[in-house]
A = this chain, B = another copy of it.
Amino acid sequence: MARKSMATKTRAPSTARQKAPRRRATAKSMASQQREISVSEFFTKNRHLLGFDSPTKALLTTIKEAVDNSLDACEEAGILPDLEVAIEPAGGDRFRVVVTDNGPGILKGQIPKIFGKLLYGSKFHRLRQSRGQQGIGISAAGMYGQLTTGKPIVIESRTSKRRPAHRYELVIDTRKNEPVVKKDTTVDWSAAHGTRVEIELEGVYRGGRHGVETYLRQTVLANPHVEIAFRPPGTTEADEPVLFQRASKVLPVEAHEIQPHPYGVEIGLLLRMLKETRATTLKSFFQTEFSRVGPTLARRIAEGSGLTSRTSPRRVSPERAELLLAVIRKSRIPAPPMDCLSPIGEERLLESLEEQVAAEYYDAVTRSPAVYRGNPFQVEVGLAYGGELGADDLATVCRFANRVPLLYQQGACALTKAVLQTNWRSYGTQQSRGALPSGPLLLMVHIASVWVPFTSESKESVAGYDEIIKELKLALQHVGRKLGAHLKRAAKARDSERKRQYIEKYIPHIGIALREILDLSERQEERVVRTLTGTLERSRKM
């Protein structure tokens, strides 16, 4: 029918064709233009999607990607992270960024692809909280450096005392998205293990809330177990680095990899899993490839779709697969296991707020985990109030995703939206509609998830899934209510203190007056004053 109606329509153009000034392209000439686009070509042209749209941001993003990788590696290996971040001027608007860690190091064979190929990594395919998740970051930073300075990315890494440290100089062949090794040597390296990444790029070094130092401070805030020595541009070897010290020697709980949860699976994925699985029966397929599916449930799913436990997954037709999915959605299946998450935790949040922020009231809450589109996630909020925090400014909101500070696109971010949508007035703080609360208030808002849905590859803000916003608001309301109570108590205390002072101030005069009137001895006067004070104090307290 579509065809038919087109038949009549297509008369028009043929006439229009004659009208056209001259013959333009044909199917043939267009075909000759078709080409594959490598992912590195794509992101070179779309660098702003990766956070390289301005020189200031480019410098920050580069450091961020290197630090993320170092911290992930250290924690995976159970090592307390000691990082050094150095920014060395390299002439004109160029800087050399050097990030050195004490992590487990990287096997020689892996170095080229990890740093010289986009979309390559260990974190994309597993369900487990980590800072990196895309396999783009560090190689993109290297690519940006190469693009703006022509210089290769330099990696040194050592995995053990018994092995030498390897040194690579790499560039990316952007046409192929493949690493090209320019130099491959060994160097001596005094530490037993660790990795050093050096990238030269065009950038601008700035302070302020989007600056590198803010990023590092917030990193330590959300990662109290991390220590970072920072050498800003212009510091010499002689100078002591700026030291961001750890507030705790306890490593975060290790996050464990989980299988996908049945509720999160769509037909397309299910069909692919059925095709790719090593399992030979439906029963073992569901038990091994999914979380929370035991033998009984596996059998029920298979039989509920008119198949048997022993049916071979490869034999399942698309129509049957749909039935399987229907049964799954009807079955009651417990939430996915949550040990794939590693939140900061209320205790650490408090520790690190107290360490880093000079306030007079602190609070923190870690919600129990929830699920969006089958992905476990968990939100936490830390709060600091009063003290040296600016009383007249808007509240400071520090956003974190999987312990990584988010400095850009605050407006577009679900974490910010949740703060805006919370009614802070009812907790005794100022707030004009649609705005952040104002007053001496600092909020840490953290989402931890096996898959944080970022609004772009630059991972600057979190997409606003309803489940996520809801959890965030509950956490914010929790700390908000307690803040409200605290402010009430404080007000009351101030008030009664004032009353007490009145009494102290005036009773003595009454004493003196009485003494003159009744001409009492000093001791009598004192007694009168004492009793009066006591009585009044008691009455005041009622």
Interface residues of chain A, those whose CB is within 8 Å of chain B, are: 1-7, 9-10, 12-14, 16-17, 19-28, 30-31, 33-39, 41-42, 44-46, 48-49, 53, 73-82, 84, 86, 98, 100, 102, 104-107, 109-110, 113-114, 117, 119-122, 124-126, 134-135, 146-150, 159-160, 174-175, 189-194, 196, 227, 229, 237, 241, 249, 251, 254, 266-269, 271-272, 318, 321-322, 411-412, 451, 453, 455-457, 463
- Give the complex CA separation of A117 and B3 in angstroms: 26
- A267→B148 contact, CB < 8 A: yes
- Give the complex CA separation of A469 and B228 in angstroms: 39
- B80→A16 contact, CB < 8 A: yes
- B41→A10 contact, CB < 8 A: no
- Give the complex CA separation of A98 and B21 in angstroms: 31
Of the candidates B13, B98, B119, which one forms a contact with A82 in the assembled complex, judged by CB atoms under 8 Å apart?
B13
Q: Which residues of B contact A9 (CB under 8 A)?
A: 82, 84, 102, 191, 227, 229
- Give the complex CA separation of A30 and B10 in angstroms: 59
Copies assembled? 2
Q: Which residues of B contact A321 (CB under 8 A)?
A: 150
- A453→B82 contact, CB < 8 A: no
Of the candidates B1, B23, B26, B84, which one forms a contact with A6 in the assembled complex, judged by CB atoms under 8 Å apart?
B84
Shortest distance in angstroms between A267's beta carbon and chain B's nearest beta carbon?
A: 4
Chain B residue, CB-CB nearest to A117 = B36
- B150→A13 contact, CB < 8 A: no
Chain B residue, CB-CB nearest to A318 = B150
8 closest cross-chain pairs (CB), A and B: A147-B268, A33-B122, A20-B78, A16-B80, A7-B190, A24-B78, A10-B191, A27-B159
Of the candidates B4, B30, B100, B455, which one forms a contact with A190 in the assembled complex, judged by CB atoms under 8 Å apart?
B4
A14, A23, A105, A109: most-surrounded residue (chain B CB, <10 A): A14
Of the candidates B119, B147, B192, B254, which one forms a contact with A267 in the assembled complex, judged by CB atoms under 8 Å apart?
B147
- B269→A147 contact, CB < 8 A: yes
Shortest distance in angstroms between A454's beta carbon and chain B's nearest beta carbon?
A: 8
- B268→A49 contact, CB < 8 A: no
Q: Could you write out 25 A-B pairs with CB less than 8 Å apart?
A: A2-B86, A3-B100, A3-B196, A4-B190, A5-B241, A6-B84, A9-B102, A9-B229, A13-B81, A16-B78, A16-B251, A23-B78, A24-B78, A27-B159, A27-B193, A31-B106, A34-B121, A34-B122, A36-B117, A36-B119, A39-B39, A44-B269, A45-B124, A49-B456, A146-B268
